[in-house]
Amino acid sequence: MARIELKDVSHSFEIAEGKEKLEWAVKDMNIAWEDGTANALLGPSGCGKTTMLNIISGLLTPSEGKIYIDGKDVTELSPQERHIAQVFQFPVIYDSMNVYNNLAFPLVNANFPKSKIKAKVEKVAEILGLVDCLDFPSSKLNSAEKQKVSLGRGIVRDDTVGILLDEPLTVIDPKMRGELRRQLKIVQKELNITAIYVTHDQHEALTFAEKVAIVKDGRLVQVGSPHDLYNDSASVFVGYFIGSPGMNILDGKLNESTLNLNGFNIELSKDFRKKIKSKIGEYQLGIRPEAIITSREKTTGTIPFEVAIVENMGSYKILTLIKNNKGDRNLRIKSRIDIHMSVSKGETVYLKFPEEDIKIFKDNHRIY
Amino acid sequence: MKNRAWYFVMPMIILMSIGAFLPLMVVVNYSQHYIFAGSAATFVGLENFVEVLHDPQFRGAVGRQFLFTFMVLVIEISLGIMIALALPKKGFWVTPCLVLLGIPLLIPYNVVGIIWRLFTQSDIGVIPKIFEFFGGYYNVALDSFDAASTILLLDVWHWTPLVVLLVYAGLQSIPDAYYQAAAIDGANSLRTFRFVTLPKLRSVLTLGILLRLMDSFKIYSEPLLLTGGGPGTATTYLSLFVARKAESYELGYASAASLIYFFIVLVMSYIAFQIITRIGKGGKTE
């Protein structure tokens, strides 16, 4: 178990290909994962998450920067010398072997004595709930069990310092996904192992990790607990990326006490204006769909919107609302309403934006 | 006919029965008779079969055939895998390599026979000259070993590329994650090959082995052109043996021999298929 740290790590695939113009898959990455913690790397597809994982595991040597495990520089070490286990997007099992031999594979490669292998494999099988299928041909397992086997090969070694999970639930049968996710979390806690979970699914990241790092275009955008990322999104990107649907972002102009949002105005209180130390100028307003109060009755301070789409999500509904403004694009906003509230397309609803839930951004960065 | 699909397969069924099934039935009919020159036929029951199975010449041909097929499989499959592994995975050289490898596959069997006849011609051929240069002796017309090994070499030259292409395609389809996992698990290159590459090549190798098995049993035009089955009977494989008998108008005997020959290929293919699909499925603990 160990602390894993990336220092000034950058990587470009073009360097190896000898191209002049460089595109950075990962750029200036500085981050540390503390011993025994559950972490997540969250970002849209193609943001460099997997490249980061491969750099940590040693499958890829970064163009620049260093990787430290417990303060020791491991940049030049091979994957097995780093003792980092990796679980891949789709379950990697050796399908010519049974479950037992799969789990024993890393130990056999390291020439462990047979009796010790047996004890270790049985212990891991117990943790993962695979005891009953040790003699199964591994090709007969379902996808969740296969993924457990590939996790098992990672934790069967004593010297495993950390485990990297690269979108491990993507190809798992949806019915088993939840259970496997919980089990991954339990294994992480029980073994007190440093885990880094890579995903583009915020739900997975936020439920698994205590610390989530959001990556965009190869750069770190924000690091924090799930709570912080949701409530204190540092940028427009994080605000939009976390939450389903993401935060509504509206461009606006502040003059004196009103925020003009290209189609409607919001009056801001004196306290609020003091807090944002606002000057007249351009801002972005952010508000989460679930914070907007949607009503069918018109009251003071509410703003009329037309319902464009109603999505029934089972326990709540998501409305996509539009408002004609004089510009060429309609103002679009999403709000979440109670499942029992009946609203239909084309209807007009009245929105209220509670001031305490309003976030203000300037040039994509949060200022309040 | 309730199922309309039958209408669509009907032309093929008709074609197959004209092209394959009817002739086969004729052969079955012939095999029960003693026929000379197709004029007079006497029913003899299974006598032809008994005679064929007791014929030392037939037994010799079977033995030769098995040895040849065994060598073909061992050499072509292992060489094919080795070459496929050595080929570049991407970049400029992929296309030239694949095209060069594909060339032998494009040459018709009889042309291959003629090309190799020129190679091995004792007065002008390249191969005898090379042997001569090193003070050796090589003559496909006189030396049984030279003839048999030349046919084998020819077949390897002609058909290994097929195995290479199959295996190469199989290799391309193995996701990188498997090799990465094996690297993380600390497997050396031999174990990586044994537990990652080989199991993943199972289906293409099954295809390759079956194709080469059945095809090598049918080898005919190459030895016919190169050695004519000789010297003596050194390169008289099963098909050549049957053809010889048919050419000498021993139609009943030849028919019986072909049916036995057909049966051997069928059984061999079945056994090979069963073995390949069963081994290494994993279930035993090491």
CATH number at residue B86: 1.10.3720.10
- Can you give the pLDDT at residue A189? 87
Strand partners, A166: A198
Tell me what percent of the residues of chain B surpass a pLDDT of 90. Answer: 28
Q: How far apart are CA A285 and CA A261, in angstroms?
A: 8
- Can you give the pLDDT at residue A328? 62
Contact residues, chain B, for A84 at CB < 8 Å? 184
A344 band by pLDDT with thresholds 50, 70 and 90: confident
Residue count of chain A:
368
- Can you give the pLDDT at residue A61? 87
- Residue B38 within a domain: yes
- Can you give the pLDDT at residue A327? 64
Q: How far apart are CA A36 and CA A188, in angstroms?
A: 8
- Can you give the pLDDT at residue B280? 58
> Contact A109/B191, CB-based, under 8 Å?
yes
Judge whether A134 and A101 are in contact, CB under 8 Å.
Answer: no
Cite the residue boundaries of each domain of chain A with CATH code 2.40.50.140: 248-366
Residue of B178, B281, B285 lying closest to A100 (CB–CB):
B285
Query: Which residues of B touch chain A, with CB atoms under 8 Å apart?
Result: 175, 177-178, 180-181, 183-188, 191, 195-196, 198-199, 280-286
Q: How far apart are CA B256 and CA B262, in angstroms?
A: 10
Helical spans, DSSP H, in B139-280: 144-172, 176-184, 189-192, 198-200, 202-217, 221-226, 238-247, 251-278
Contact residues, chain A, for B173 at CB < 8 Å? none
Q: How far apart are CA A213 and CA A233, in angstroms?
A: 12
Q: How far apart are CA A364 and CA A283, in angstroms?
A: 9
Distance from CA of A320 to the nearest CA of B (A): 41
The tens digit of pLDDT for each residue in B248-276 reads 878 888 888 999 999 998 998 898 888 87
DSSP string for residues in B144-181: HHHHHHHHHHHHHHHHHHHHHHHHHHHHHTS-HHHHHH
Kindly tell me if the per-residue pLDDT of B216 is higher than 70.
yes
Question: Which are the contacts of B233, defined by CB distance < 8 A and separation ≥ 6?
Answer: B57, B60, B61, B64
Contact residues, chain B, for A85 at CB < 8 Å? 184
Residue of B177, B191, B281 lying closest to A92 (CB–CB):
B177
> Contact A84/B184, CB-based, under 8 Å?
yes
Number of domains in chain B: 1
Cite the residue boundaries of each domain of chain A with CATH code 3.40.50.300: 4-241
Q: A161: closest CA among B184, B187, B191, B178?
A: B184
> Contact B185/A98, CB-based, under 8 Å?
no
- Among A118-127, B67-76, B137-146, top mean pLDDT goes to B67-76
> Contact B186/A109, CB-based, under 8 Å?
yes
Q: Which of B174, B185, B285 should one mutate to test binding to chain A, selecting the residue with the greatest count of A CBs within 10 A?
A: B185
User: What's the rounded mean pLDDT across residues B7-30?
Assistant: 89
Kindly tell me if the per-residue pLDDT of B169 is higher than 90.
yes
Q: How far apart are CA A142 and CA A335, in angstroms?
A: 39
CATH 2.40.50.140 fits A248-366, yes or no: yes
- Can you give the pLDDT at residue B274? 86
> Contact B177/A89, CB-based, under 8 Å?
yes
A140: DSSP letter: G
Higher pLDDT, A46 or B192: B192
Q: How far apart are CA A54 and CA B81, in angstroms?
A: 29
The ipTM, to two decimals, is 0.73
The domain A4-241 is placed in CATH, from the list 3.40.50.300, 2.40.340.10, 3.55.30.10, 3.10.310.10, at 3.40.50.300
- Residue B21 within a domain: no
User: What's the rounded mean pLDDT across residues A283-307?
Assistant: 88
- Residue B175 within a domain: yes
- Residue B16 within a domain: no
Pairing mode of beta strands A348-352, A293-295: antiparallel
User: Dihedral, CA atoms, A209, A124, A79, B200, nearest 10 degrees?
Assistant: -110
Q: How far apart are CA A178 and CA A363, in angstroms?
A: 38
User: What's the rounded mean pLDDT across residues A168-180?
Assistant: 84
What single letter denotes the amino acid at residue A64?
A: E
Chains A and B form CB pairs within 8 A to the count of: 80
- Can you give the pLDDT at residue A19? 67
> Domain residues for B248?
32-277
Judge whether B174 and B195 are in contact, CB under 8 Å.
Answer: no
Distance from CA of B203 to the nearest CA of A (A): 13
The tens digit of pLDDT for each residue in B35-93 reads 776 567 788 888 888 888 888 988 999 999 999 999 999 999 999 999 999 998 888 89
Q: How far apart are CA B121 and CA B132, in angstroms?
A: 13
Contact residues, chain B, for A110 at CB < 8 Å? 186
Distance from CA of A9 to the nearest CA of B (A): 21
B285: closest chain A residue by CA:
A101
- Can you give the pLDDT at residue B37? 62
Judge whether A169 and A89 are in contact, CB under 8 Å.
Answer: no
Kindly tell me if the per-residue pLDDT of B163 is higher than 90.
yes
How many CA within 13 A on the CB side of residue A112? 20
The continuous run of DSSP H or E covering A197 comes out as strand A194-199
Q: Whole-model pTM above 0.80?
A: no
Judge whether B119 and B126 are in contact, CB under 8 Å.
Answer: yes
Contact residues, chain B, for A90 at CB < 8 Å? 175, 177
User: What's the rounded mean pLDDT across residues B22-39?
Assistant: 82
User: What's the rounded mean pLDDT across residues A347-364?
Assistant: 87
- Residue B284 within a domain: no
A50 band by pLDDT with thresholds 50, 70 and 90: confident
Judge whether B79 and B227 are in contact, CB under 8 Å.
Answer: no
The tens digit of pLDDT for each residue in A55-111 reads 888 888 888 888 998 888 888 888 878 888 888 888 889 988 889 999 999 899 888
Distance from CA of B63 to the nearest CA of A (A): 34
The tokens describing B119, both together, are 């190679």
Q: How far apart are CA A78 and CA A82, in angstroms?
A: 6
The tokens describing A113, both together, are 């004595």
